[in-house]
Every structure is written in C-alpha cells, then in structure tokens.
A and B are shown apart, each in its own frame.
Chain A
Amino acid sequence: MSEPKLLCRNVWKLFGPRAAETLRALGTSATPDRLRAAGLVTAVRGVDLAVGEGEIFVIMGLSGSGKSTLVRCLSRLVEPTAGEIIFHRQNLLAATEVEMIALRRHKMGMVFQHFALLPHMTVLQNVCFPLEVQGMARAAREETARRMIALVGLEGREESFPRQLSGGQQQRVGIARSLAADPELWFLDEPFSALDPLIRREMQDEFIRLQSVLRKTIVFITHDFDEAIRLADRIAIMKDGAVVQAGTPEEIVLHPATDYVRAFTAAVPRAKVVRVATVMAPPEGPAPAARIAGRATVAEAAPLFAGDVQAVAVTDGAGRVTGHLHRQAVIDLMLAG
C-alpha cells in the first residue's frame, strides 16, 4: 500500500470533566478502570489506523464499543482527547475551526444510521443542502443534486418529503446527499443497520456498485460481522474503545488474534472469505478454459466447477494467468467449514 490517505495515531476520547489532564497525568497506566474511578467514560482508547486511498475500511464492533465516537473523531465532530489524525499530511487536530469547516464542506461526506434527513425539505432540497451551505448557485446545485439522485436510483422522487419514503429510500437520499459535494473521504456510520435484512442486502449490493464507480476512500462502521466481511478491503475490530485486530477479512478469519475475534469468525464459512489467489496452485499443465480473478472468493469460484471441470485459470488484475485453481482445493476448503 502506498502512503495512507487517512492516518490516526494513538487517538483517545474520554468523556467527562478534565479528561485531557487526567489522561496526561495517568500516562501509560491509563486503564479503563482507573479512568472510570476518575469519573471519565472511555469511548476510544489508543487507536492506530491507516486507511489507504480508494479502500473500504470497515470498523466492526458491538454496540457501545466506541465506533461512532471514533468516526466522529476523524472529522472532529467530537474533539479527540489525545492523539493525531493526519489527512493528506495535514494534522487535523491543529486545524482551525474555519479550516475544519472548509475540509468538511469539500473533502468529507457522511451517512448516518438513522438517515438524519431534514424533515422540512424535499428529497431534492435535502441533497442540495450541503451545496447550499457552501453558497453554490441554485441552478448548479440542483443539477448536481439531480445527478446524485439518479445515481442512487431515486429519479422521480425529487419532490417527495422524507416521511413519504421507505427506510431504504431514505437512506438512498442520505447517500446521495453525502456524495453531493464529491468528497474524498466517505464516512458511513452503520448506514444499513436500521433497515430490514432483505433491504440491507440490496443496499450492500448497491454500495458495492457505487464504490466500483466512485473509488472513494471509505470508513464504514458496522456491528454486523457478515456485512464487514462482504464489503471490506480491510477490517478493524473494536472492543471497549480499542482496536483488537486489524487486517483483511481473510487474515482475520484465518488467523483470529484473540478469543473475542474467534467468536465472530467461527460461524463464517471459509470459502466466503478466502481468496482464490490464496489457495491456487502454480500454473502447470494445459491452461483450463474457465478463468477467474485472483481476488474473487473461493465461494464465488465454486459454480465454475459444475459438471466435470477439474481446474480453473486464475488471473491477476491485468488479465495474466498467475495460477490454477483445482477442484480438490475448493472441496477441501468448503468441507473445512
């Protein structure tokens, strides 16, 4: 990975009176128990992260583990108690309020769990709102907004009010709005958690489609491990404010760092995570007819073996054959659970 787009070093967030002084006084001996004794709530505890350009970085953790607080620290909606947040080599914690407003207007977008649509505005006005705040002329902002609304598949609903839409449609509006200013960094705080399972699935597909077009740098929050596996390039797992493990879905499922992580990964079928490139053999013998990309999962490759196919050619991003995937390897992995 080249230089990370967003870097966060030893970020802390404590809620309560005189948080910074207390943390400085305790130094390295700052455990949650001691902090609680000082009347402080520990929401984020010494988090280090690096998010690469164009990457979907998922932060996964149970409710109350500090995900929302962490993602709000990244845009300084919540003021971190200590640490460094570096975006484009600029330290955000040193930025003035005016600089932060400019950054949020032009470089960052956010999607919220409960949509956070403004009830008194139509869909079009909601999507226009970030541009209106910037002072963009009406014609220009409406043109952009209409494009965004079309992008999320809501043409024809421009004049509806949020309360007239279903949950899934409302979140589409939220997504369109967060993209209106064409941000580089896209934060999504549990965007699909308030939706029904079927709709959630549909929205995840929609999200994957959008990202294949947009190539944003994404921080995506979820409490659903399956969702994390499905969407992530890399995952950080949070517990009690700290990151317990960070890595690709494959690394996490194959090598869980702690029992806590293992409890999540145990139920995940390996074939859904392990990439074809990981289990392929070197390209020996005659080239098979069927081909598959190396970054596809084994589960995605399985249908190609229907009938009596024994091997499939594996290609890299440039279309070169880098190895062969054999029927036996697929079966072994699937039987392993």
Chain B
Amino acid sequence: MSARPAPVTRRRPAPALWLLALRLLALWLPALAAFAALLTWGKPLAPWAFDWPDLLTPPVDRWISDFVRWLLNKATFGLFTFREATRALAAVVDAPYQIVRGLLTEGFGAWPPLSWPPLSWLGVIALVALIGHRAGGGRLAALVAGCFGFIAVFGKWTSAMVTLASILIAVPIGIAGGLLLGLAAYRWRWLARAITPVLDLMQTIPVFAYLVPILILFGFGPVAAILATVIYAMPPMTRITLLALARVPGEVRDLGRMVGCTRAQLTWRVMVPSAREGLMVGVNQVIMLSLNMVIIASMIGAGGLGFDVLAALRRLDFGGGLEAGFAIVALAVALDRLSQAAARPRADARRRPYLWAALATLLLAGVLAWLVPAAQNYPRGWQLSTGTFWNEVVRWINVNYFGTLEAIKTTLLLNVLIPIKRFLLGLPWLGVAALLALAGWRLGGWRLALLTWTLTSLIAMVDLWAEAMTTLYLCGISVVIAMLIGLPIGVAAAERDGLWRVVRVVIDTLQTLPSFVYLMPAVMLFRVGDFTAMLAVVAYAVAPAIRYTALGLQGVDPALVEAGRAMGCTRWQILTRIKLRLALPEILLGLNQTIMFALSMLVITALVGTRDLGQEVYIALTNANAGRGLVAGLCVAFIAIIADRLIGAAARQARARLGLEGAA
C-alpha cells in the first residue's frame, strides 16, 4: 500500500456514513421483514394481495376499444364527422408524400408518352453530395455520397428511396409541429404545464401501443406510418424548443422588445434565430427518431427498408435482414451528419452557386439517364450482395460453436434468468407497491409515494401483474449488466483522453443504429427467447451508461481532485472517495437513461418471443385490438415513470447532500 491519507481526513466521514447506514436499516429492516412475512405466509390469508381478483378488474381495454369504435363510427364535430376529419388529415399528408415518392422512386404518369421517370440514382447521389458540400465541405460530401452509393451497390436503392420519401415528409411535419407547439407553450405558461405530463407519457409509452389506434383511424398504409412516425418523433422537438427558448438570454429578448418588435417579429426574428443551436439538436433528434421508427412503421404499411428487414426476419433470412439493416444505418449516418453539420453556423457558404449547381446536376443526370439506362436504374449486374456471406458466417459459427453458445445460454438461463424470473413472479403486488411507496416517500415525500403506489396498483388492477414482472425481470437484469459493462468503461475512458475519443465515436455510432439492428445478430447466434432479448437490450442500453459515467467523472471540479492529491490519496482513493461520489448524481441520470433505453428496446424484443408487456402490446397490434394494446403500453409507461421519478429524486437528494444544487 502506498501513502495513506492523514488520519483526520479518513476518520471524518466514517461516523456520518455509519449513522446513515443505521438510519437506513432502521427504516428498511422492518419494511423488508413485513414484506418477507407477506411473501411466506400471505398467500393463503390474502390471495388478493398476490393476484387482483378478476371480478374487480375494470374492463379498461374494452372501454378504450369501444371509444375508438365510437370515434370512428359516430363521433361528429357538427359540421363534419370525426371520420371525415381523419380522411382530410390523411389527404393533406398523402399529397406531398405522393409527389416525393414519385420523384424518388416511381416517376409520374402511367403511360409512356405521358410518363416522367423518377430522379436517377446518379442524380440523387450528386444532389446529396452537393447538400453535404454546402453544409460541411468536401469530407461530408464524400461521406454522404458514400452512404448513398453503398445503398445502390447493395441493391437497396428502391426500398431506400421509399423509406427516404416517408422520412422527408415525416421530418418536416415533426419539426414544424414540435416547434409550433413549443412556441405556443413558451408563450402560454398554462399550455406548458398542461403538455409536460403528456410529453412525458409520449416518450415512455411504447410505439406499438399507439400504432393500433392509428391503424384503426387511418388504415394500413404509408400515411398511417408517417403519422405514427410524427407522433413518435415530435415530443422531443417540443421539449427541446421550450428549453432552447428558455435559454435565450433575457437581454436578447429585451433587445427585441426595445427596438420595437411586434410579437411576431420578436418570435421569428429574435427568439427563434437566437435559439437556433438548441433547436438544431431537436431537428437532429426528430430525424434520428424517425429513422428509428422505420422498421416499426413498416408494420402498418410504410414499406421500404423497414419492410425488407421485417420480411427477412420472418423468413429467418438473417443475411437479407442484416443487409437491409445496413442500408438503414447508411441512411441514418448520412442524415445525422448532414443535420449536425447544418447546425454549425457557417459564415462563408453562399446559397446561389449551390442552387445553380443543383439545377445543373439534375439536368445533366436527367439527360444522361435518358441516353444511358444504367444511369437511370442502378444495373443489377453491378450489385453486390453479402446476404449469402452472412448466412454462411452464421452457419459456420453454429456448426463449430453451437455447443459452446448453447452451454453459455443454458447455464445463464438456468442459474440466473429463470430463478430471478420465478422470484419476481411470486411477489405480491401489495408488498411491491408498499415498498415502492416507502422508497418514494424517503426520496421525494408523500406526493412521490402516492404516485408510485397508484401506478403500481393500477398495473395490478388491470390484471397485467405477471407480464409487468416479466418486463421488470428482463429489464432489471439487462440494466444491471449494462451498468456492469458501462461503468468500468466509462471510468476508464474518463481518465484517458485518447480512449474517450474512440469510445465516444463508438457510442455515438451505436446510438444512430435503429434498435432492430441490435436484435439481428443476437437472434442469429442464440435464436429466439429471453436470453436473446436480454443480449439485444444490453447492447442497446449500454451507450448511455458509458456516456453519463464518463461525462460525470470529467465534470468533477479539478480543484477537489487536486486537494485530494495534496492530502496524499492514492489514485484509487481519489476515484472512489472523491470522483465517483461527486459524479453520483450524473451517474444516476445515466442509470435512468439506461432504464429508459432498455424499456424501449424490450418492447421490440417481443418479436423474439418474450412473454412480457411488450408481447401483450404486440399481440394487440396483430389483432388490431386498440384497448389491449394501449393498456399494456400504459403499463410499460408506468414502469418507466416510476423508475424515472424515483431515480430523479435520488439524484436530487445526492446533489443536495453534495451541495451541488446551484450547479445543476
């Protein structure tokens, strides 16, 4: 052992910690004892504490389904019916979509003399390269052209253009809608108060849950898919708009009023441009979330790449699915980098030359495509396919390592997953609700206690307790593993700049991948089941664990680290006693994010046959049962909200204890 710190500094915190532990024990020991008693002897005495009596289960799902049916068949606003309103909305979305789709894939007109071909693949690539050049220079142009070229080479052009068409419609609607809602909420405080809980719910409720009502209201097809995408991608834009506007310095607002701006001038000439950098983060979010929806949206008729992935998964054609997945990733990378580059202010770039260049490119590409067919449609002969290669790889791994993989999977299943699942499934809802309420009371007072109690009992009341516990078990194990992987990586990366740069590129990239992509390799190697689901969830949820740990540690005041070093702490002591302790609030936020990521991925893993709430939602989707889907979806949202509020309160408490309140 190297130098020890002075005894004074060592002994100081000990009694406080010791006392704290005692106080915690005094509270939790009786609570846990009561819980254990209920668990052991409660079942015969109070069966209703374990399984809510079916007779008392309110048929919420039926009410919701009836309500949706009523909306569809009877509801009217006087001048027009609800159904007419949805049709009008659908038509408004459909018109621009048809134009963009015609431009990108199908062309216009059905008969040769009157038809007009779509943009050729060369033309599109040249165009996106131009946009890339204007937004971020030569390197970005090359990257974007490379991504689109990749799509062409691997024969995914037509599908990718169908997907791009719906993205090109969904993204502007999501941005404009989110921005307008955010502006309105900024102007009218009551609106902000009213929409905040709705936004919270929208971000935690799984997408599948509202696919059903949309499907019923708008029918199967691209319009329904676009609307679902907008609903999914819009809330962060609203939230970020509110934040960005609040962050505009008060002086800038004062300036606008001082020069005599009208309200409209103040909003559009002063506030929105000043908040631009923050707003562009929202734009990027909308794009990434829209891409994340590509596969899910294809379940209700989006077509394109998402459909390819889904179809391949159903055929168990991993290679094909992976290839379509790569194409989505290529699209995501290109659009992500483009929107990020557009967010950076650039003084020099002028618009006009680019406009002319774009027109010239289009003309040239059009003429070329007219002369040479290969310039219109990417020729089949030039296409590559790695599908068979991947299938071979999987076959090879399975032939050679089947035993090993199977052994790993079985061992973990038998010794860890199944026992935990059994244990959780045996827990009485009453006891769990009480413990959560107690935790809520300790961390955030009686309001939080009431919230956790109510949400937990609601889950039990709608008779989804077993499914919820299955969700909890998968989510819990995955989060623990993700944290076990993420924390050490985060700690290591925080101390080494070079490593951090590499890690950051990796996790940034991981976060641009649509969540389905994580599912495919796991399914390839381990087929369907809980274990596969867990692997996919861990892979998806590890990024925030790493990011927040590293950022939290890097954010620790260097003066405190210096002080620790001056007192003679070893590196290990500095890490555990100073840095980790001060970074605790940030790490808790990371835990929170990890849970949210895990829950959103978990719902998707219903495709590989888990038996949790996600499966419940998924079944509802295939049966077009709006009520069942929404109820199960709300239960997932409740779990997310309970976790979010408890951890948020814990982080606040930790921050207050560390005296960081002002800094937060």
Residues of A bordering B, CB below 8 Å: 72, 75, 77, 101-106, 108-110, 112-116, 118-121, 129-130, 133-134, 161, 163-164, 181
Residue from B251, B261, B269, B273 within 8 A of A116 (CB atoms):
B251
Q: Is residue B527 contacting chain A, with contact meaning CB distance below 8 A?
A: no
Chain A residue at minimal CB-CB distance from B269: A133
Once A133-B265, A161-B347 are accepted as A-B contacts, the answer to whether A113 and B251 lie under 8 Å apart by CB is yes
Chain A residues lying within 8 Å of B273, measured Cβ to Cβ, are: 118-121
Q: Give 20 A-B pairs besides A129-B269, A130-B259 with Cβ atoms closer than 8 angstroms.
A: A77-B254, A101-B261, A102-B260, A103-B260, A104-B259, A110-B254, A112-B254, A113-B251, A114-B249, A114-B251, A116-B252, A118-B273, A121-B273, A130-B260, A133-B260, A133-B261, A133-B265, A133-B269, A134-B260, A161-B347
Q: Is residue B262 contacting chain A, with contact meaning CB distance below 8 A?
A: yes
Q: Is residue B270 contacting chain A, with contact meaning CB distance below 8 A?
A: yes
CA distance A103 to B260 in the complex (A): 8
Q: Is residue B257 contacting chain A, with contact meaning CB distance below 8 A?
A: yes
Chain B residues lying within 8 Å of A116, measured Cβ to Cβ, are: 249, 251-252, 254-255
Chain B residue at minimal CB-CB distance from A75: B258
Residue from B254, B261, B265, B269 within 8 A of A72 (CB atoms):
B254
Interface SS, A side: mixed
Chain A residues lying within 8 Å of B254, measured Cβ to Cβ, are: 72, 77, 110, 112, 116
CA distance A104 to B261 in the complex (A): 9
Chain A residues lying within 8 Å of B345, measured Cβ to Cβ, are: 119-120, 161, 163
Chain A residues lying within 8 Å of B262, measured Cβ to Cβ, are: 101
CA distance A133 to B270 in the complex (A): 11
Chain B residues lying within 8 Å of A104, measured Cβ to Cβ, are: 257-260
CA distance A115 to B259 in the complex (A): 14
Q: Is residue B409 contacting chain A, with contact meaning CB distance below 8 A?
A: no
Sampled A-B contacts (25; CB under 8 Å)? A77-B254, A77-B258, A101-B260, A104-B257, A105-B260, A109-B258, A110-B254, A110-B258, A112-B254, A115-B251, A116-B249, A118-B252, A118-B270, A119-B274, A119-B345, A120-B273, A120-B345, A129-B269, A130-B259, A130-B260, A133-B259, A133-B260, A133-B261, A161-B345, A163-B345
CB distance from A316 to the nearest CB of B (A): 38
Chain B residues lying within 8 Å of A133, measured Cβ to Cβ, are: 259-261, 265, 269
CA distance A164 to B345 in the complex (A): 12
Q: Is residue B276 contacting chain A, with contact meaning CB distance below 8 A?
A: yes
Chain B residues lying within 8 Å of A77, measured Cβ to Cβ, are: 254, 257-258
B149-182 near A? 1/0 per residue, CB < 8 Å: 0000000000000000000000000000000000
Chain A residue at minimal CB-CB distance from B270: A118
Chain A residues lying within 8 Å of B270, measured Cβ to Cβ, are: 118
Most buried by A among B254, B260, B261, B269: B260
B329-358 near A? 1/0 per residue, CB < 8 Å: 000000000000000010100000000000
Once A118-B270, A120-B273 are accepted as A-B contacts, the answer to whether A112 and B260 lie under 8 Å apart by CB is no
Across the A-B interface, give the 3 residue pairs with the lowest CB-CB distance, nearest first: A105-B260, A130-B259, A116-B251
Residue from A114, A119, A120, A129 within 8 A of B259 (CB atoms):
A129
CA distance A329 to B579 in the complex (A): 66
Most buried by B among A72, A129, A134: A129
Once A101-B262, A120-B276, A134-B260 are accepted as A-B contacts, the answer to whether A110 and B255 lie under 8 Å apart by CB is yes
B260-303 near A? 1/0 per residue, CB < 8 Å: 11100100011001101000000000000000000000000000
Chain A residue at minimal CB-CB distance from B252: A116
Chain A residues lying within 8 Å of B249, measured Cβ to Cβ, are: 114, 116
Chain B residues 235 to 261 lying within 8 A of chain A, measured CB to CB, are 249, 251-252, 254-255, 257-261
CA distance A108 to B276 in the complex (A): 28
CA distance A77 to B252 in the complex (A): 12
Chain B residues lying within 8 Å of A75, measured Cβ to Cβ, are: 258
CB distance from B552 to the nearest CB of A (A): 29
| B252–A105 CB distance below 8 A | no
CA distance A64 to B26 in the complex (A): 46
CA distance A119 to B276 in the complex (A): 9
| A112–B257 CB distance below 8 A | no
CA distance A104 to B265 in the complex (A): 14
Chain A residues lying within 8 Å of B252, measured Cβ to Cβ, are: 116, 118
Chain A residues lying within 8 Å of B260, measured Cβ to Cβ, are: 101-106, 130, 133-134
Once A118-B273, A118-B274, A120-B345 are accepted as A-B contacts, the answer to whether A181 and B251 lie under 8 Å apart by CB is no
Residue from B255, B269, B274 within 8 A of A112 (CB atoms):
B255
| B259–A181 CB distance below 8 A | yes
| A112–B251 CB distance below 8 A | yes
CA distance A57 to B258 in the complex (A): 20
Chain A residues lying within 8 Å of B261, measured Cβ to Cβ, are: 101, 133
CA distance A194 to B149 in the complex (A): 51
Chain B residue at minimal CB-CB distance from A160: B347
Once A114-B249, A161-B347 are accepted as A-B contacts, the answer to whether A105 and B274 lie under 8 Å apart by CB is no
CA distance A164 to B348 in the complex (A): 13
CB distance from B422 to the nearest CB of A (A): 55
Chain B residues lying within 8 Å of A113, measured Cβ to Cβ, are: 251
Chain A residues lying within 8 Å of B259, measured Cβ to Cβ, are: 104-105, 129-130, 133, 181
Chain B residues lying within 8 Å of A161, measured Cβ to Cβ, are: 345, 347
CA distance A334 to B364 in the complex (A): 84
Chain A residue at minimal CB-CB distance from B265: A133
CA distance A101 to B260 in the complex (A): 5
Most buried by A among B255, B257, B269, B276: B255
Chain A residue at minimal CB-CB distance from B277: A119
Chain B residues lying within 8 Å of A103, measured Cβ to Cβ, are: 260
CB distance from B270 to the nearest CB of A (A): 7
CA distance A49 to B259 in the complex (A): 24
B100-142 near A? 1/0 per residue, CB < 8 Å: 0000000000000000000000000000000000000000000
CB distance from B124 to the nearest CB of A (A): 30
Chain B residue at minimal CB-CB distance from A129: B259
CB distance from A157 to the nearest CB of B (A): 13
CA distance A108 to B249 in the complex (A): 21
CB distance from A203 to the nearest CB of B (A): 18
CB distance from B567 to the nearest CB of A (A): 35
CA distance A133 to B261 in the complex (A): 6
CA distance A278 to B575 in the complex (A): 68
Chain A residues lying within 8 Å of B257, measured Cβ to Cβ, are: 77, 104
CA distance A89 to B260 in the complex (A): 21
CA distance A57 to B312 in the complex (A): 78
Chain B residues lying within 8 Å of A134, measured Cβ to Cβ, are: 260
CA distance A143 to B261 in the complex (A): 21
Most buried by A among B254, B261, B269, B274: B254
CA distance A22 to B55 in the complex (A): 56
CA distance A103 to B259 in the complex (A): 9
CB distance from A286 to the nearest CB of B (A): 56
Once A114-B249, A118-B274, A120-B345 are accepted as A-B contacts, the answer to whether A108 and B258 lie under 8 Å apart by CB is yes
Chain B residues lying within 8 Å of A101, measured Cβ to Cβ, are: 260-262
Chain A residue at minimal CB-CB distance from B260: A105
CA distance A203 to B254 in the complex (A): 23
CA distance A130 to B255 in the complex (A): 9
Chain B residues 211 to 254 lying within 8 A of chain A, measured CB to CB, are 249, 251-252, 254
Chain B residues lying within 8 Å of A110, measured Cβ to Cβ, are: 254-255, 258
CB distance from B501 to the nearest CB of A (A): 25
Chain B residues lying within 8 Å of A112, measured Cβ to Cβ, are: 251, 254-255
CA distance A119 to B247 in the complex (A): 14
CA distance A164 to B258 in the complex (A): 25
Chain A residue at minimal CB-CB distance from B272: A120
Chain B residue at minimal CB-CB distance from A100: B260
Chain A residues lying within 8 Å of B274, measured Cβ to Cβ, are: 118-120
CA distance A1 to B254 in the complex (A): 32
CA distance A118 to B265 in the complex (A): 13
Chain B residue at minimal CB-CB distance from A180: B259
Chain B residues lying within 8 Å of A119, measured Cβ to Cβ, are: 273-274, 276, 345
Most buried by A among B259, B265, B347: B259
Chain A residue at minimal CB-CB distance from B255: A116
